[in-house]
Structure 1
Amino acid sequence: MDHDARVRLAHLRDAPLSVDEVLRAVQDPEAGGVGLFVGQVRAHDHAQPVVRLDYTAHPTAEQTLHDVVRSVLTDEITAAAAVHRTGELVVGDLAVVVAVSAAHRQAALRVCAELIDVLKTTVPIWKHQVFADGTDEWVGL
C-alpha cells in the first residue's frame, strides 16, 4: 500500500485547529478504530502560571511533519493525519492534533502514541512560553 496516500493531512496552521477535520481525514471503510491525541495549552508549567505561548516553525517543518507521519505507518494503518499550530496561543487553545486509523484499536492507539512522540522530538517547531511573573522559556531549541 502506498504510504503517501495514507498520509491524509500534515499541515502547520496559524489558525485554530479542528479535531473534526483531523478525524474526517483518517476515516476509512477498512478502519475499525481511530487513535486520537489532542494537545492543548495548559495553565501551568514548572508550577508557574502560563500566560501564553508562541510556536515558531522552521521553513522545513511542514515537510518534516509529512515525513514523520509517513515514517510511522505500518501495514496495519489505513490513514494518518497531523496538524500543529504556529503563532500565539493562549490557555485552552489546541496546539496539535494527530489521528491514526487502523483495522483494530491496538494498532491505531500504538501508532498514534508513536506519531506524537516522534513529532515532538523531530519536527523543528519551537515553543516560547511566557509566564505570569514575566519570565519566559524556549522549549525545543
Structure 2
Amino acid sequence: MSRFLMAAAPVGLEALREELHLARAGGYCAFEGWVRETNEGREVRGLAYESYEPLALTEGQAILDEAHERFEISEAVAMHRTGSLKVGDVAVWIGVSAPHRDAAFRACRYIIDQIKARLPVWKKEHYCDGDTQWVACHHTHGLEENSGDGECHGHHHP
C-alpha cells in the first residue's frame, strides 16, 4: 500500500498522523513545509506546484521504502501538494513513527531531503507586484549527510 500522496486539495493531516500511531512505535516525528510570504527578498502572495504525478507517486513511495531500509522505523507517510497554494498553506508533510526517537528524526530528515532532490515537482511563485516566476531548484548538496537547504524541489520546469 502506498503511503505517499500527491494532493490537489488540502489533506486532513490528523488522518495521516493516525496511520503512524502504532503499538510498536514509541515516538513520532513530523515535518511541515509551508508557503512563506517572502523568497529572496520578494513578497510572495502564493505559488503553484505542478508535477508529473505518475513518476512523483512512484518516486515518493521509493523514498519511503528506502527510509524503511535505512532506519529502524515503524511507518512513514508523506504528502506533497499540487495546484495553487496561498501563504501559510502546507505544501509538504512528512510523518515517521519509530520505536526510538533518533530513527524517527533521521528518517524524517532523509525523506524531506530526498523529496526535494528527486520528485518531479515544479514551483511557480506569484509575487505581490503581479510578476510570476518558475523557481528552478536543484538541492542535492549534502544529501549523503541528510543535510539540505532551500524550499523547492528537484527539477527545472520543462
TM-score w.r.t. length of structure 1: 0.89
Q: 1:83 aligns with which of 79, 84, 105?
A: 79
SS at match of 1:77: coil
Corresponding residue number in structure 2 for 1:69: 64
Q: Deviations over 1:74-128 (max 9, x none)?
A: 3511000001110000001110110111001111011101111111111111111
TM-aligned CA deviation for residue 135 of structure 1: 2.5
Looking at structure 1, the residues matched to 104 and 17 of structure 2 have their Cα atoms a distance apart, in angstroms, of 12
SS at match of 1:121: helix
Q: Deviations over 1:19-62 (max 9, x none)?
A: 21221121211101111001111111111110110000013111
Kept after mapping to 2: 8 A contact 1:22/1:98: no
Amino acid of the residue matched to residue 14 of structure 2? D
Looking at structure 2, the residues matched to 42 and 78 of structure 1 have their Cα atoms a distance apart, in angstroms, of 31
Structure with greater proportional strand content: 1
Corresponding residue number in structure 2 for 1:110: 106
Kept after mapping to 1: 8 A contact 2:73/2:97: yes
Corresponding residue number in structure 1 for 2:126: 130
Amino acid of the residue matched to residue 35 of structure 1? C
Corresponding residue number in structure 1 for 2:38: 44
TM-score w.r.t. length of structure 2: 0.80
Looking at structure 2, the residues matched to 14 and 54 of structure 1 have their Cα atoms a distance apart, in angstroms, of 10
Kept after mapping to 1: 8 A contact 2:78/2:92: yes
Looking at structure 1, the residues matched to 99 and 19 of structure 2 have their Cα atoms a distance apart, in angstroms, of 16
Please give the root-mean-square deviation of Cα atoms over the aligned residues, in Å: 1.4
Looking at structure 2, the residues matched to 116 and 15 of structure 1 have their Cα atoms a distance apart, in angstroms, of 20
Does residue 25 (structure 1) correspond to residue 48 (structure 2)? The answer is no
Q: 2:10 aligns with which of 1, 13, 16?
A: 16
Kept after mapping to 2: 8 A contact 1:56/1:126: yes
